[in-house]
Amino acid sequence: MGKNLLIIGNGFDLAQGLPTSYRDFMEFAEAFRYIYTLDNNARVEEYEGQLRYFDNKENGNYGQIKEQLLTLMASRKAGKAIDGHWNSGCTLSDISSLLDRMNYDLNDNIWFGYFEELMTIQKDSQKFRFGSYSSGNSIPGERWVDFEKEILYIIRWLDSQELKDDDNVSDISIDQMTLRTEIFKRSVEKNTINELEAGTPIAEFVNVLYKHLRNFTEALEIYLGYFVARLSCDKDGPGIGVMPDYILSFNYTRNIERFFTGVGICYVHGKCRAESDYDRRESDLVLGINEYLSDDKKDTVNVYAIFKKFIQRIRNNNDTTYYKWALEMKDLYENKHEVSDVWVYGHSLDVTDGDILEQFLKPEYTSVHIFTRKKEPTEAGRLAKNLISIMSEDVMIEKSSSDSKRLKFITLPLTVTDQTQME
C-alpha cells in the first residue's frame, strides 16, 4: 500500500487551543512593548495592570502566558541599554536578556510599526479587512496567509515603483492600496532615522527592509518557542483517525510532536530554536511571499527576491525531505500501482505554498483528504477555491469524480461512520 502523509498548517495548533494566530502575536507584542518600557524597578502590580487584556480571553492559555510574562518581568535585571536596545553582551541563558532581545527585534521595526497601525485601523473601521479582506470568508486575525499578503502588497508596490509599472501593484482597490502605502511610508520614516537617508541606494534599502523582517520573525519565534511552547493543549489530540508515515509541517512550533512520535517530520519553513541555540545559530524560520511576477519577468526582475519564500528556504538551508517523500510516492505508483493518501489539516491551501503543495495534491498517484471544521461552514468552500490555483479545475474534477474519489472533504469532529470509512 501507498504512504500516509499528513500536511499541517497553523489551523492545527489553533484547533489544540494554542494562541498562534497573527492577532495573538501582535496583541502580545503590543502589551510586551508597553510594559517593557516601565522602569526595571517597577512593581509586579504595575506590569499586571498593562496585561488585563489577557483576562478577557476565553482561552485559559492566555492566563498562562500572562503569568509567564509577569514572572519574567518581575525577575528582569537592569541589562538593557539606555536607548532600550538589546545588549549583545547578554546571552539567552540570562532570562532578562530574552526580553531584551525581543524588545530589540521589535523596537524601531518597520514591519511591526506597519502591522500595528494596520490592525489598529481594522479594530476601528468596519470597512477595512486585514489581508484577504475582500473575500469575506477569512476569520480576521487567524490566518497567517493574510499576514503574508500584507507583506506581498507592499513588496509588489515597491517593485512597481522601481519598474514604473502600475499593473504590478495588487488585486485590491486603489483606496485600500493607498491606505497601506501611506502607513508603510510613515513606518519607514519613523523607524529608520539612523539607518536610511535621502538618496540611499535601492540595494541598501532592501537590505534594511529585510533585516527588519528577520528581526520581526525572531520576535515571533521567541513568542512561539518560549511562551506558547510552555502551554498545555486544551484538546486530547487532533482526533483525525490517521497514523501518518510522514508529516509535512508548515508551522514553526513543535506542537505536532506531542501527538506523534517516531514519525518523520519535515518543518519546511523552519522550526523554533531551543533556548540554547539562539546564540549558536541563526533562525531558519521562513516568513515571506510567493512568486508574483509574470513568467517573462520573474527570472530577470529580482530586486526584492529575498522576500520570496523559496529564496529564504534556500538561504536558510531548510529541510527538503518532503521532496524525497514525493519521489517515493511516485515510485510506489509506477512500480506497484499503489496510491498514497495525503491528509491536510489546518492549512489554508493558499497559493503562497503552492510550489510545495502541488507535489502532493496534484498527481494522479495521491488521494487527497482535507479536514474542515464543523463550526466553520464556509471553510470547505474557501479551501476548494484555493485548491483551484494549485490543482486546476480539470484535475479537481478528475480526482473528485473518479471511481476511487481521490479528493474528499472531511468534517471534524469525526463521526463513527467517518472513522469506519477511514480504517
pLDDT tens-digit map of 226-259: 889 988 875 667 788 889 999 999 999 999 999 9
Greater confidence (139 vs 368) lies with 368
Give the pLDDT of residue 363: 95
Burial 194-230 (b: 16+ CB within 10 A, else e): ebbeeeeeeeebbebbeebbbbbbbbbbbbbbbbbee
CB 64 within 8 Å of CB 28: no
- Answer yes or no: is pLDDT of 132 > 60: no
pLDDT in tens, 294-304: 888 888 888 99
The pLDDT confidence band at residue 80, using thresholds 50, 70 and 90, is very low
Greater confidence (29 vs 170) lies with 29
- Answer yes or no: is pLDDT of 167 > 60: no
Phi–psi pair at 113, nearest 5 degrees:
-65, -40
Q: How far apart are CA 207 and CA 327, in angstroms?
A: 36
> What three-state secondary structure class fits 384?
helix
Give the pLDDT of residue 323: 97
Give the pLDDT of residue 136: 38
The pLDDT confidence band at residue 72, using thresholds 50, 70 and 90, is confident
In order of 104, 280, 369, 420, the CA distances from 416 in angstroms are 51, 49, 17, 6
Share of the chain above pLDDT 70, in %: 78
- Answer yes or no: is pLDDT of 88 > 60: no
pTM comes to: 0.86
The C-alpha cell at 367 is: 488521494
Interval 364-389 mean pLDDT = 89
Beta bridge partners of 340: 366
77: how many CB neighbours lie within 10 A of its CB?
13
Interval 120-146 mean pLDDT = 57
- Answer yes or no: is pLDDT of 115 > 80: yes
Interval 285-302 mean pLDDT = 88
Greater confidence (98 vs 362) lies with 362
The pLDDT confidence band at residue 292, using thresholds 50, 70 and 90, is confident
User: Which H or E run contains 144?
Assistant: helix 144-163
The pLDDT confidence band at residue 287, using thresholds 50, 70 and 90, is very high
In order of 31, 163, 198, 216, 395, the CA distances from 223 in angstroms are 12, 37, 35, 11, 40
The pLDDT confidence band at residue 62, using thresholds 50, 70 and 90, is confident
Greater confidence (76 vs 358) lies with 358
- Answer yes or no: is pLDDT of 309 > 50: yes
Interval 277-291 mean pLDDT = 87
The pLDDT confidence band at residue 43, using thresholds 50, 70 and 90, is low
- Answer yes or no: is pLDDT of 335 > 50: yes
Provide the total of helices (H) and of strands (E) in the chain, helices listed first.
Answer: 15, 6
- Answer yes or no: is pLDDT of 419 > 60: no
Q: How far apart are CA 400 and CA 123, in angstroms?
A: 40
Angle formed by the axes of helices 202-222 and 95-106, to 10°? 140
Alpha helices in 223-320 (DSSP H): 309-316
- Answer yes or no: is pLDDT of 272 > 50: yes
The pLDDT confidence band at residue 28, using thresholds 50, 70 and 90, is confident
pLDDT in tens, 188-233: 999 987 787 767 888 999 999 999 999 999 999 999 998 899 888 7
- Answer yes or no: is pLDDT of 133 > 50: no
- Answer yes or no: is pLDDT of 421 > 60: no
- Answer yes or no: is pLDDT of 422 > 60: no
Greater confidence (20 vs 167) lies with 20
Q: Helix, strand, coil shares of the chain as percentages rounded to 5?
A: 50, 10, 40
How are strands ordered across the β-sheet holding 264-267?
264-267, 246-249, 4-8, 340-345, 366-373, 407-412
List domains and CATH numbers for the chain. 4-16+238-268+319-422 (3.40.50), 19-230 (no CATH)
Among the residue ranges 17-31, 103-117, 118-132, the one predicted with the least confidence is 118-132
Greater confidence (127 vs 311) lies with 311
Greater confidence (97 vs 152) lies with 152
- Answer yes or no: is pLDDT of 125 > 70: no
Greater confidence (380 vs 132) lies with 380
CA angle 422, 343, 147 (to 5 degrees): 145
Give the pLDDT of residue 152: 92
Give the pLDDT of residue 108: 93
